[in-house]
Amino acid sequence: MTTELMRYEGHRFLLYKKWDYPPNGRTKEQTEALEAGKALSKAANFEHWASELELVKRIQTFLVDSFPSYRSSPCSDRPGDIIKTFCWEVRNEAAVIVRAKPEYIVHNGFVPKREFDYAAYKRDLDERDRAYMARSKAYSDDLKAYNKSIDDRIRREANALKPYRHIETMAEAQARTIAARAAGDDTSALASSVVSALSAVASSLPSIEVDTFDLDGASKAGTSPTPLADAVPFEFGEMPAFGGSYEIAKTPNYGEPGTWYTNPGSGQMRLYGDTGAPVVDFDFDHDHGQGIPHAHNYGPVGADGAFTRESGRSFSILPR
């Protein structure tokens, strides 16, 4: 009677009754197979064997079929008791464990003959590789889409917090300057009327005999005495507001962001940046060694509010 015990380290181990396995005249291969079975028995962890229910069932079937004295009962059906009984039979050499030869396993019907299918193995590896690459690409695409959505949201929020500012062009600055000068002409007319009024007041004063009296330079004043007793007293009144043309001709340090300012006196043109601080000056009335006209760039405003104005650079307003 032959029963398969287990498969271990690539071999099948079979169970024989003592007289079913050749006791005498054994070949070298049979002796080696028997010694391998004894080594397995000595190294076995029988407590572990008792936990393997399929193994316990095969051993119990072997004991019932091979030893009429063994009878299973409810008291002896415990896995531990079955393994102990089997160990007793093996120690008494009533049962032997034999390592089966591979040829015996293949051709005796215990294990169907199988040939390794390298083509199927290669197809399986290729399929696993394609599946891995597909998953990796899907993960990468999802990550790129997520990062793009974050970048788009950051750009939208930045644009919402920083509204677009129109940068005044040279043509717009020139048109605004012309309009300012036209308004200055109205102021000049007002000044002329004031001078006429002052002349009328002067003509109403008593005449003074003098040799010469130059209003431009007051250079050749007469030497005759000037009687002040007959002079008409007068007082300075409140100075009228004549507008920007009567203010000191200085280009403002700050202005409307994105606009040009043209100084009505010197003709200097200044562009103001996003913070209202100057960005560049165009000078037309003096020379720093770079010629007329020339430009000055501005660096960042310092912590103390001071400007960093670079040296002049020549430029041409005519196309090259």
Instruction: Per-residue pLDDT tens, the chain, 320 aa: give them.
Output: 678 888 877 788 888 888 888 777 778 888 888 888 888 888 888 888 888 888 888 888 888 888 877 766 555 678 888 888 888 888 888 888 888 865 444 444 444 556 678 888 899 999 999 999 999 999 999 999 999 999 998 888 877 766 556 677 777 777 887 787 777 665 556 556 655 655 555 555 555 454 444 444 444 444 455 555 555 555 555 655 544 444 456 888 888 998 989 888 888 889 998 888 898 998 888 877 778 888 889 888 887 778 888 888 887 776 65
Backbone angles phi, psi at 289, to 5 degrees: 95, -5
User: How confident is the model at residue 48, as a pLDDT?
Assistant: 87
Whole-angstrom CA distances from 143 to 88, 138, 148, 152 are 66, 9, 9, 14
- pLDDT tens track for 247-291: 456 888 888 998 989 888 888 889 998 888 898 998 888 877 778
Longest dimension (CA), the chain: 172
Strand 95-99: give its sheet, edge to edge.
Answer: 2-8, 11-17, 95-99
For residue 104, give every residue at least 6 positions away whose Cβ sits within 8 Å of its Cβ, in sequence order, or none.
Answer: 110
Q: Is the dihedral of CA 287, 290, 295, 299 positive or negative?
A: negative
For residue 232, give every residue at least 6 positions away whose Cβ sits within 8 Å of its Cβ, in sequence order, or none.
Answer: 204, 205, 206
Q: Is the dihedral of CA 245, 249, 255, 259 positive or negative?
A: positive
Round to whole Å and give the CA distance between 49 and 275.
86
Tell me which residue has tokens 């690539």. 10
Contact 49, 55 (CB under 8 A): yes
Q: What is the pTM of this model?
A: 0.32
- pLDDT tens track for 92-104: 888 888 888 654 4
